[in-house]
Amino acid sequence: MRALQRLFTRVLNFPSRGRGDERLREEIESHLAAQTEENIRAGMTPQEAHRQARLKLGSVEAVRADYHAEAGLPFLDSLLMDVRYALRLLRKSPGFTLVVLLTLMLGIGVNVVVCGVINAILLHPLGVSDPSSLYQIRHQQWMSGHALTTSYPAFDDFRQRNTTFSGMVGINAYSRAELVWRKAELEVAGYEVTGNYFDVLGVQPEVGQFFRATDEHGPGSAPFVVLSDSLWREAFNADPGVVGTTVELNKHPFTVVGVAPKQFHGTEQFEWPNYWIPIVNEEQVEGEDYLASRKGVAVTVIGRLKPGVTAQQATENLNAIAAELGKEYPESDDGQPLRLIHPGLQGDQGDVIRGFLYSVTVLAVLVLLAACANLATLFAARATDRSRELALRAALGSSRQRLVKQLLTEAIVVSLMGGAAGLLTAYFLLGLLGRWYPDLGHLAVNADARVYLAGVALTLGSALLFGMAPAGQAWKISPLQIIKGGPIDPMPLRRVALRDLLLGVQIAICTLLVTASLVAVQGMVYALHVPMGFQPQGALLVEMDLRRAEQEGDLALEKQKEIIEALRGIPGVITVGAVSRTPMTGGLHGIPIFPPGTTEFRLKNSVLAAYLFIMSPGYLDAAGTRLLRGRDFSWYDTTETPYVAIVNETFARKMWGETPAIGQHFIVWGHLTEVVGITQDGKYHDLQEPPQPVVYLALSQDEDEHAIFVVRSLRTPAEIAAALEPALSSIEPNVPINVESWYHSLEYYVLFPARAATAALGVMGLLAAMLAVTGIFGMAAYSVSRRTKELGIRVALGARAMHVLSAAVGRPMALLGVGSAVGLLSGVFASRLLEQIVYQANPRDPLVVAGAVVTMVILGIAAAAIPALRALAVDPSKLLREE
Amino acid sequence: MKPKRDVQPGTLALMILKTLDLLGPLHGYGIARRIEKISGDLLSVNQGTLYPVLLRLEQEGAIASEWAPSENNRRARFYRLTRAGHKLLATEKRDWEQTAAIIARFFDVKPGDLA
């Protein structure tokens, strides 16, 4: 209680410290006067009386210090003093301060950005209730892209028969529509979901209500739409009155029933659907009915486990059902076992994404460590420079704790400033990321308190880390030695000083990072040059939705022919072809291939599951896919003539081995089909896939209303679009046309991960290179400036330039060599880590090793050049006159 | 000559309280003089050390102070005991006597007593 009262008084006293001083002075004066008077009365001379009075009182300074300690908060007092002193010192050497602040800003900024991204991707909840009991159902074999699970009827069977899930929803996440509201037209993308979707996910509407399972009464019975918060705000001006009104989706009326809450965007971190409609009404938007067919893979299945049921039990339950279905529907259901994963990160991509993020985190922490080593070197060097000052203070009675505290305060002040700059930078970068909407999807990066707390913790942690070096030096200081010995600079050549060790560590880490970024660049180059089996460069994709124009069957085929002719007629166009879908746009799954003579089309009887493309004559040419043997399709291959197919090498090898494939037969989609051509292999789903069997069917025999036209031309998309408009208006007016460069459209889907990895690792490598340069430069410059006198004497005694150089920058160079070697070796050992991040990463590649060595040598030379020149320019006569 | 003894830490505050209790309001110099006198010049008080202790006691609320003219018309700060101070003195005195009694007993013990 008393202690508390005292603390309170002290805090109150704190701002008025000066007045206490005044009071003590007055009291001591009156005390001395009284004592002197008494001494005079005792018979002393006035001088003697005064002297004796002072002696009796004791050391006024010590009393004042005690008095202060009692009056205020000595800890805070000295802290303020230290902070002020630290700021003064930093102001005195702006160059040093700038380097330190920049280093910290980069080191901490990088880490906070990485933390923010991890927070957003891995830790940020999906806005659904209890995400841990929510599972996405996947097939064991990776057959159908990243997301889709089964056909809708199969999903319905799983939903009805399982005993382990409290709810199971089916989602088609590929819904696209033209939304019309009060004459405003808008292209939107959304989800078609089963009626129980919102109830199973446990989401409450922001406005209005959601549709439920009870609203579904067969196909077309629930023309309702739920809007996303962002669509509601952008297109409907956040008007709550929109609930109950009717909008058009692909020319069909839908009633807006509610708006989803702001933080809810389905079950995928990167996807932000604009709307949700009941899956029973999908035909109105899609134009085709996928609810009845067991053959297509139409829905992603997500289920919520019943309380107490483990994922293992649920998997067994589902597998039993899958086996039953395989028996009941042998033509369509293959009874493949299933497995459960947590939804959110593009299906199985989650592992890849997580691995990548963890690796990047490790690298970011390494950058910060290198930065700390750098700063520790700088601070230790400064502490050595200040050793006289520190020794003097120790000699005057300052305690070691006090000195250490002061040096640590300096480190913390600097790192708080640097950390604040880093946090600010990270804030802007994360904001930028959060506002970035690539085609691939959008990531809600909202840096919350957790992220910034991590930033502050990193700041203080690094301050302690690099503050230790000078503090350790101050602790060992011996005032006598230093005051006696004049400017000390032992720099003992044989002893490895702490500074050397730090620089070595820093260079090793930097080499590792430089190696990593070189590996990333190499991986990127490989990714760009991997044989994809087609040439997206110099080709354009022309897309127009003839389905919208309600063209069916033969008529659609005729239109497509006309469009191809029109495109071919445009000057500058080399070749044109049409294809059902271009490679690497997802959505592929294996189509069963049966041997000739099969009568029962059970999946068990199929010999191969191949990717299937439908194409027009000329597509292979336009796409740049080489036809190795045989012939291309022609328009004369019709439903009246024998069915023909072109297969790729893998298909031919898997089916017929060494036997020539041309002229062989197989059954696909119920037609006996003859192989007429063989194409080169390629990549169809993603760059990482092993060689896949592929079959191409003729557009003129299996018409597909939705075709993409591939145009090989040297002209730009805009020019082609402009030339196309008049040519097409006569064939098919009022159909929106979309023309884009094939290469650019691929960039997002295929090259984006490699790009992102390269960018991330490239930035880290760049930072590391900068740190290496500042570290070596700092060390070399420092060593030269400390030893100017010695170098001058050497020059005066006739030392050669080589000797001067080796004396001046030999040590940093030696450290560079050792550190780089260690870094390279660890890079090779960390290759597993790097392989996770970068496609075809190989740190053992001699090119990479050579690149890293050359980079480090160049960095070393660049960093040491100025100090070395300065050392060579030492003029002994001038120097000796100075001292 | 036997060196004078230093004041044991903590005891100076008790001496100040007792002095003020006996003599009523006093200034710093007066307190120092009294302590010296009472101890029979056995204790050498480094007189300056008195002031931080006075400040602490005042912050704890045991004493209060104000400026007033001294006996020979000089301005001096006079300290007096507060109620809390009286109470503090009483508890401290009891504690001190208890400690002294315990220590005294230990010194009085002879080997026979423990048998």
Q: Determine the residue of chain B that is closest to A65 in CA distance.
A: B52
Burial class (CB in 10 A: 0-12, 13-18, 19+), A522: buried
Residues of B in contact with A24 (CB under 8 A): 51
Q: Is there a domain that residue A118 lies in?
A: no
pLDDT of residue A703 exceeding 70, the answer is: no
Domain boundary among A47, A72, A97: A72
Domain boundary among A325, A343, A361: A343
d(CA A320, CA B11): 87
Closest residue to A67, CB basis, from B52, B72, B74: B52
d(CA A580, CA A704): 7
Confidence of residue A19 (pLDDT cuts 50, 70, 90): low
Cα B24 to Cα B19, B28, B32, B53, B73, distances in angstroms: 8, 13, 14, 18, 18
Q: Is there a domain that residue A694 lies in?
A: yes
Q: Is there a domain that residue B52 lies in?
A: yes
Domain boundary among A23, A46, A72: A72
Q: Is there a domain that residue A684 lies in?
A: yes
pLDDT digit string (tens) for A772-818? 777 777 777 777 777 777 777 777 787 777 777 777 777 777 878 88
pLDDT of residue B6 exceeding 60, the answer is: no
Indicate yes or no: CB of B28 within 8 angstroms of CB of A31: yes
pLDDT digit string (tens) for A808-852? 777 777 878 888 888 888 777 776 666 665 555 666 677 777 887
The domain of A725 spans: 546-735
Closest residue to A63, CB basis, from B29, B48, B59: B48
Q: Is there a domain that residue B41 lies in?
A: yes
A358, A293: one domain: no
Q: Write the CB contacts of A540 (distance below 8 Å, at least 6 apart in sequence).
A: A710, A711, A712, A713, A717, A720, A739, A740, A741, A742
pLDDT given at position A834: 64
A523, A561: one domain: no
Confidence of residue A2 (pLDDT cuts 50, 70, 90): low
Q: How many domains does chain B have?
A: 1
pLDDT given at position A348: 64
Higher pLDDT, A261 or B47: A261
Confidence of residue A854 (pLDDT cuts 50, 70, 90): confident
Q: Is there a domain that residue B6 lies in?
A: no
pLDDT digit string (tens) for A527-558? 666 778 888 888 888 887 665 555 555 667 78
How many Cβ atoms are within 10 Å of A561's Cβ, its own excluded?
17
- Evaluate whether A190 touches A260 at the Cβ level (below 8 Å): no
A338, A364: one domain: no
Q: What is the CATH number of the domain that holds B59?
A: 1.10.10.10
Mutate to test the interface with A, among B53, B55, B71, B92 (most CBs of A within 10 A): B55
Q: Is there a domain that residue A274 lies in?
A: yes
- 3-state secondary structure at position A531: coil
Q: Averaged over A153-168, what is the pLDDT? A: 83
- Evaluate whether A204 touches A258 at the Cβ level (below 8 Å): no
- Evaluate whether A263 touches A241 at the Cβ level (below 8 Å): no
Confidence of residue A646 (pLDDT cuts 50, 70, 90): very high
pLDDT given at position B45: 60
The phi, psi pair for A862, rounded to 5°, reads -60, -40
Indicate yes or no: CB of A34 within 8 angstroms of CB of B49: no
Confidence of residue A696 (pLDDT cuts 50, 70, 90): very high
Q: Averaged over A861-872, what is the pLDDT? A: 77
Distance from the Cα of B76 to chain A's closest Cα (Å) equals 6
For residue A85, give both structure tokens: 């002193």
Residues of A in contact with B28 (CB under 8 A): 27, 30-31
Say if A102 is an interface residue toward chain B (CB within 8 Å): no
Confidence of residue A493 (pLDDT cuts 50, 70, 90): very low
Indicate yes or no: CB of B61 within 8 angstroms of CB of A31: no
Higher pLDDT, A571 or A586: A571
**Average pLDDT taken over every residue of chain A:** 77
Say if A67 is an interface residue toward chain B (CB within 8 Å): yes
Q: How many domains does chain A have?
A: 4
pLDDT of residue A748 exceeding 50, the answer is: yes
Indicate yes or no: CB of A70 within 8 angstroms of CB of B52: yes
Q: What percent of chain A has pLDDT over 70?
A: 83
Q: Is there a domain that residue A600 lies in?
A: yes
Q: Determine the residue of chain A that is closest to B48 in CA distance.
A: A57
Distance from the Cα of A108 to chain B's closest Cα (Å) equals 45
pLDDT given at position B41: 67
Confidence of residue A66 (pLDDT cuts 50, 70, 90): confident
Distance from the Cα of A60 to chain B's closest Cα (Å) equals 7
Q: Is there a domain that residue A534 lies in?
A: no
Q: Is there a domain that residue B1 lies in?
A: no
Q: Is there a domain that residue A747 lies in?
A: no
Distance from the Cα of A3 to chain B's closest Cα (Å) equals 8
Half-sphere exposure of A845 (CA within 13 A, CB side): 19
ipTM of this complex prediction, to 2 decimal places: 0.82
pLDDT given at position A31: 84
User: Which one of A245-254, A432-441, A519-528 scores highest in mean pLDDT?
Assistant: A245-254
Q: Determine the residue of chain A that is closest to B29 in CA distance.
A: A31
Q: Averaged over A603-624, what is the pLDDT? A: 85
pLDDT of residue B106 exceeding 70, the answer is: yes
A799, A827: one domain: yes
Say if A234 is an interface residue toward chain B (CB within 8 Å): no
Higher pLDDT, A489 or A479: A479
Q: Averaged over B43-49, what is the pLDDT? A: 70
Residues of B in contact with A60 (CB under 8 A): 48
Mutate to test the interface with A, among B12, B29, B43, B58 (most CBs of A within 10 A): B29
pLDDT of residue A141 exceeding 60, the answer is: no
Residues of B in contact with A17 (CB under 8 A): none
Cα B74 to Cα A27, A30, A291, B12, B77, distances in angstroms: 11, 8, 106, 26, 10
pLDDT given at position A92: 80
d(CA A743, CA A508): 39
Q: How many CB contacts within 8 angstroms connect chain A with chain B?
A: 69
Q: Is there a domain that residue A517 lies in?
A: yes
Say if A4 is an interface residue toward chain B (CB within 8 Å): no
pLDDT given at position A679: 92
Residues A837/A839/A845/A850 CA torsion (nearest 10 deg): -70
pLDDT of residue B57 exceeding 50, the answer is: yes
Across A76-90, A162-176, A632-646, B22-36, least confident range: A76-90
DSSP letter, residue A609: E
pLDDT of residue A432 exceeding 70, the answer is: yes
Cα A61 to Cα A434, A437, A617, B56, distances in angstroms: 60, 68, 101, 18
- Identify the contact set of chain B against chain A, taking CB-CB distances under 8 A: 27-29, 32, 46-49, 51-52, 55-56, 59-61, 70, 72, 74-77
A491, A591: one domain: no
Across A2-6, A391-395, B54-58, least confident range: A2-6
d(CA A357, CA A362): 9
Confidence of residue A733 (pLDDT cuts 50, 70, 90): low
DSSP letter, residue A294: S
Say if A56 is an interface residue toward chain B (CB within 8 Å): yes
Indicate yes or no: CB of A30 within 8 angstroms of CB of B72: no
Say if A111 is an interface residue toward chain B (CB within 8 Å): no
Q: Determine the residue of chain B that is closest to A29 in CA distance.
A: B76
User: Which one of A68-77, A331-340, A371-380, A677-686 scores highest in mean pLDDT?
Assistant: A677-686
Indicate yes or no: CB of A70 within 8 angstroms of CB of B59: yes
**DSSP string for residues in A81-142:** HHHHHHHHHHHH-HHHHHHHHHHHHHHHHHHHHHHHHHIIIIIS--SSS-GGGEEEEEESS-
pTM given for the model: 0.65
A679, A586: one domain: yes
Mutate to test the interface with B, among A11, A67, A68 (most CBs of B within 10 A): A67
Q: Any alpha helices (H) in A435-448, and if so which ranges?
A: none
A165, A270: one domain: yes
The domain of B93 spans: 11-106
pLDDT of residue A579 exceeding 80, the answer is: yes
Higher pLDDT, A647 or A396: A647
Q: Averaged over A742-757, what is the pLDDT? A: 71
pLDDT digit string (tens) for A244-285? 888 887 788 888 888 888 888 877 777 778 888 888 877 777
For residue A170, give both structure tokens: 């089916």
pLDDT given at position B23: 85
Across A218-232, A724-738, B99-113, least confident range: A724-738
Residues of A in contact with B56 (CB under 8 A): 6, 70
pLDDT of residue B3 exceeding 50, the answer is: no
Q: Is there a domain that residue B93 lies in?
A: yes
pLDDT given at position A557: 79
A559, A431: one domain: no
Higher pLDDT, A255 or A139: A255
A687, A758: one domain: no
Indicate yes or no: CB of A10 within 8 angstroms of CB of B59: yes
A699, A760: one domain: no
pLDDT given at position A553: 55
- Evaluate whether A545 touches A285 at the Cβ level (below 8 Å): no
Residues of A in contact with B60 (CB under 8 A): 2, 5-6
For residue A832, give both structure tokens: 């597993």
DSSP letter, residue A797: T
A263, A228: one domain: yes
